[in-house]
């Protein structure tokens, strides 16, 4: 069953890296045997990776965040059209670090999602529950609310141009990845929520403490279509190993 899955692996560098890391990626990252590799560096390094003579042949680049308006007096923000013009092809929206540390609401995230689609970027919509929410049995309700706000704003037709990433907040940067069974359960639920609108396939990635040791068993789950990777994606050798584990 897994032979027919082709993974999508997205590296989220967060606020890490520099020009040297871009060069190391260019020298070291290997083209996957199958599947796709996308990299979201800090946006200042987007163009460096986008024009790199080697990486541009097999890596898509994108951003970790984007603003929900097309232009105007929004000091410090970057529009989706600017990302597109600089060679980016996707945008992560609604990462839990933005929801919690920058107070981004579901409706604000829905605007960013819509702006990305309008600019021809593929949005990667992140959803996931906190530890308190999981312990209170609210995982499914939280994820459903995060999804439906965006689907209702953008319309299911546009939603189909996106990728969803399930990132339980308690698993991010903690070394405690969700168990394959727990992750699979939530991925199934995400599919069911989307299927209420219609049944077109949307890739669902898992994110949260993914590394070369746990990626194999997560990949065995039927509804996990790839990974959104933070810390382990900062080393191109580690990323090669992760990709190797699931594309052999």
User: Which positions touch ligand 13P (CB under 6 A)?
Assistant: 12, 95, 167, 172-173, 207-210, 228-232
The distance of closest approach from Cβ of residue 206 to ligand 13P in the complex, given in angstroms and rounded to an integer, is: 10
The distance of closest approach from Cβ of residue 158 to ligand 13P in the complex, given in angstroms and rounded to an integer, is: 22
Q: Choose, from 129, 167, 184, 245, the residue flagged as catalytic.
A: 167
The distance of closest approach from Cβ of residue 44 to ligand 13P in the complex, given in angstroms and rounded to an integer, is: 18
DSSP 46-93: HHHHHT-TTGGGTEEEEES--BSSSSSS-TT--BHHHHHHTT--EEEE
The tokens describing 219, both together, are 């990949």
DSSP letter at 238 equals: H
Q: Nearest residue to ligand 13P, using CB?
A: 230
Torsion of CA 146, 13, 68, 162, to 10 degrees: -60
The distance of closest approach from Cβ of residue 3 to ligand 13P in the complex, given in angstroms and rounded to an integer, is: 26
8 Å CB contact between 240 and 199: no
3-class SS of residue 128: coil
The distance of closest approach from Cβ of residue 207 to ligand 13P in the complex, given in angstroms and rounded to an integer, is: 4
- Other C-beta atoms closer than 10 Å to the C-beta of 221 total 20
On the CB side of 188, CA atoms within 13 Å amount to: 8
Adjacent-strand bridge partners of 227:
9, 206
Residues 60 and 89: their CA atoms lie apart, in Å, by 7
Residues 212 and 58: their CA atoms lie apart, in Å, by 21
Whichever of 208 and 236 has its CB closer to ligand 13P, that residue is 208
Whichever of 79 and 229 has its CB closer to ligand 13P, that residue is 229
Clarify whether 95 is annotated catalytic.
yes
Clarify whether 167 is annotated catalytic.
yes
Whichever of 3 and 170 has its CB closer to ligand 13P, that residue is 170
Whichever of 81 and 179 has its CB closer to ligand 13P, that residue is 179
Whichever of 108 and 170 has its CB closer to ligand 13P, that residue is 170
Active-site positions read 95, 167
């Amino acid at each position: 069953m897994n032979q027919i899955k082709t993974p999508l692996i997205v590296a989220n560098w967060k606020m890490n890296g520099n020009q040297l890391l871009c060069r190391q990626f260019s020298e070291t990252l290997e083209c996957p045997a199958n599947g796709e590799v996308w990299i979201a560096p800090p946006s200042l390094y987007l163009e460096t990776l986008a024009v790199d003579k080697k990486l541009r042949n097999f890596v898509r680049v994108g951003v970790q965040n984007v603003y929900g308006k097309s232009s105007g007096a929004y000091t410090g923000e970057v529009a989706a059209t600017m990302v597109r013009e600089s060679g980016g092809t996707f945008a992560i929206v609604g990462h839990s670090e933005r929801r919690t540390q920058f107070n981004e609401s579901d409706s604000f995230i829905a605007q960013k999602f819509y702006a990305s689609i309008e600019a021809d970027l593929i949005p990667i919509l992140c959803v996931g529950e906190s530890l308190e929410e999981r312990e209170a049995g609210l995982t499914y309700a939280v994820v459903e609310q995060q999804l439906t706000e965006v689907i209702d704003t953008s319309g299911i037709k546009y939603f189909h141009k996106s990728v969803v990433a399930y990132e339980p907040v308690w698993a991010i940067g903690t070394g405690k990845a969700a168990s394959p069974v727990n992750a699979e359960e939530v991925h199934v639920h995400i599919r069911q929520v989307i299927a209420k609108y219609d049944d077109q396939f949307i890739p669902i990635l898992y994110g949260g403490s993914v590394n070369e040791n746990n990626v194999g068993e997560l990949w065995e789950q039927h509804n996990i279509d790839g990974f959104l990777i933070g810390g382990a994606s900062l080393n191109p050798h580690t990323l090669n190993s992760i990709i190797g584990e699931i594309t052999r």
